[in-house]
Amino acid sequence: MDGSKRSSHGNAYFTGIGKNKRIVFFDTLLKGMEDAEVEAILAHELGHFHHQHIRKNMFVSFATSLLGLALLGYLINQTWFFHGLGVEKMSDYTALVLFTLSAPIFSFFIAPISNYLSRKYEFQADAFAAKHTNSKDLISSLVKLYRDNAATLTPDYLYSAFHDSHPSASVRINQLKKTL
C-alpha cells in the first residue's frame, strides 16, 4: 500500500474474509526492513489468519452491536434517560442522538476488555511467527517498527490498558525472547 503519501508510519495488517483476504504492507514499512524481517512480519500476519482473528473480531463486533441496540431499545422508553440528559420531549430520533452522544462515555470503561483481547491476538500471531520464522528477525523488525513510528517502548500500564490495542515493544520482545 502506498502509505507514504499519508503518513511516515509503517504498518502491516491482515484483512478480509472468504476469497477476499489480503495481507497489506505499507511501503513505509518495507523501506527499512531486511528480507528476513519482512518474512517474519508476513508470518505474524499469517498468524492472524491461522487463528481466525478477523472472524473472532467480527463476532465480538456483532455481539456488541446487538447489545447496544438492545440497550437503545430499552432506553428509548425511559423518561429518566431523556430527563437526565436535559431533554423534556421524548422521541425515537432524540433517543438515538442522545444514545450516540453518551455511548462513548460508557464504552470508555469497556476499552480495557477490547484492548486485552486485541493484545492476546497479537501475542498469538507473534507466537505463530516465532514458530515459523526466526524470532530474532521478528524482534528486530518490531524494534524498527516501534522506533520508526515513534511509539513509546514502555508506556504506563493503566494508560496502555485503556488506549493501546497492541502490547508494548518491551513486553512483546520479552515474550519472543522466551522462544529463542
Contact residues for 48 (Cβ-Cβ < 8 A; gap 6+)? 14, 54, 121, 125
User: 3-state DSSP helix/strand/coil percent for the chain, to nearest 5?
Assistant: 70, 5, 25
Average pLDDT estimate for 41-55: 95
Q: Is pLDDT above 90 for 43?
A: yes
Amino acid at 112: P
pLDDT of res. 4: 60
Residue-wise pLDDT for 105-134, tens only, equals 888 888 899 999 999 999 999 999 999 999
Name the strand (E) or helix (H) holding 95: helix 92-107
Distance CA 10, CA 141 (A): 11
Given a contact cutoff of 8 angstroms between Cβ atoms, the answer to whether 122 and 145 are in contact is: no
Average pLDDT estimate for 133-139: 95
β-bridge pairing 12-15 and 22-25: antiparallel
- Nearest one of 33, 118, 157 to 170, comparing CA atoms: 157
**pTM for the structure as a whole:** 0.84
Average pLDDT estimate for 153-170: 85
Q: What are the domain boundaries of the chain?
A: 34-180
Q: Is pLDDT above 90 for 151?
A: no
Average pLDDT estimate for 50-64: 94
Classify residue 72 as exposed, middle or buried by CB count within 10 Å of its CB (0-12, 13-18, 19+). middle
pLDDT of res. 7: 65
pLDDT of res. 8: 66
pLDDT of res. 95: 95
Given a contact cutoff of 8 angstroms between Cβ atoms, the answer to whether 76 and 44 are in contact is: no
Q: Running DSSP on this structure, what letter comes out for residue 12? A: E
pLDDT of res. 18: 87
Give the active site residues. Answer: 45
Q: Is pLDDT above 70 for 5?
A: no
Residue-wise pLDDT for 10-34, tens only, equals 788 899 888 899 999 988 888 889 9
Across the strands, what pairs with 15? Answer: 22
- Count how many Cα atoms sit within 13 Å of the Cα of residue 164 in the half-sphere of its side chain: 19
Average pLDDT estimate for 25-51: 92
